[in-house]
Amino acid sequence: MLDNLERRIAPLPDSAMQRSVFTEFVESVPTDEAVEALEALLGAIGRGSARALQVGLGYARFCMELDDRARRVALRMTAEAMGCQRVAATLTDAVPSKYLGQHGRMPETGLGRASWFLQTRAPNLFARDEEERDAAHYVQAIKFLAQFNERFLDQMAVHPDPRVRRRLMRSVSLSEKQAVRIAAARPTTPALTQEILAVPRWFDNRAVREAVVRNPFTPPRIAAPLLVTLSHSAWRDLGRLGSVHPKLRQLARDLANPEPTPPE
């Protein structure tokens, strides 16, 4: 069953299309068979199977976007009952290691240059409709974003309004180094994290995904599926990292130390 699933998904050009096939698959077969195939897929990813690695992003997107509560719970409970802990971990709804209130709060005032920029240099970046923005002003704002220093970037990265994060991540001038810095910013919220992953350029970037996973404020529901798409060295490191959620540490260890390839 795994071979057939990989053959269907691997040739697809993007993770959104792959996610659709994963969704169709779990809806078309008994839950225990779906869990068995997904666990075999995660084992193959851990062993470095080239074809399995090709569908990793699609599996991550499938897990993150599986909003059918009943199906999600059924898959997770079946996986736990069958001892398929990797599948269960990627479908977790556990509370993050750190969260607002107990471990920090988003800034409300005193954003300094970030507030100045939002109020004076880019007042129409947040127009209700994309077409309402003045093109010349938007280009000017993008050029300004390319020149900001690290302190300014840090201020913008923890701005509580997701629209600010959205504009940052969609900036054509934003570098990988800056995107990683934003992904690692803390404290943060699920809404802010989703603005990073909503941009295909950054969802497809392994360094950015790793920064999201390492951020203790990232919900395991997001971090666990993304962890599957990281490198073997990242799994080994995350398996020892005390700041990440225990479920993520265990999943990283399970992926870094997979069972031997099953006999033909």
- Helix residue ranges, H only, the chain: 2-9, 15-28, 31-46, 50-54, 56-64, 69-82, 85-90, 113-116, 135-147, 150-157, 162-170, 176-184, 190-197, 200-203, 206-214, 220-227, 232-238, 246-256
CB count in 10 Å sphere of residue 101 = 7
Give, for all 264 residues of the chain, the pLDDT tens digit: 888 899 999 999 899 999 999 999 999 999 999 999 999 999 999 999 999 999 999 999 999 999 999 999 999 999 999 999 999 999 999 888 776 655 556 555 444 555 555 555 444 444 444 444 445 555 555 555 555 566 677 777 777 778 778 888 888 778 899 899 999 988 888 999 999 999 999 999 999 999 999 999 999 999 999 999 999 999 999 999 988 899 999 999 999 987 765 544
CA dihedral (192, 194, 197, 198) positive or negative? negative
Q: Which of 23, 44, 108 shows the shortest CA–CA distance to 261?
A: 44
Long-range contacts of 115-124 (CB under 8 A, 24+ apart): 117/144, 117/152, 117/156, 118/159, 118/164, 122/167
pLDDT at position 207 is: 97
pLDDT of amino acid 143: 56
Confidence (pLDDT) at 141: 55
Q: Which helix or strand (DSSP H or E) is residue 149 part of? A: none
Q: How far apart are CA 90 and CA 85, in angstroms?
A: 9
What's the pLDDT at 129? 47
| pLDDT given at position 117 | 54
Q: Does the global pTM surpass 0.85? A: no
Predicted local distance difference test score (pLDDT) of residue 213: 96
Contact 124, 134 (CB under 8 A): yes
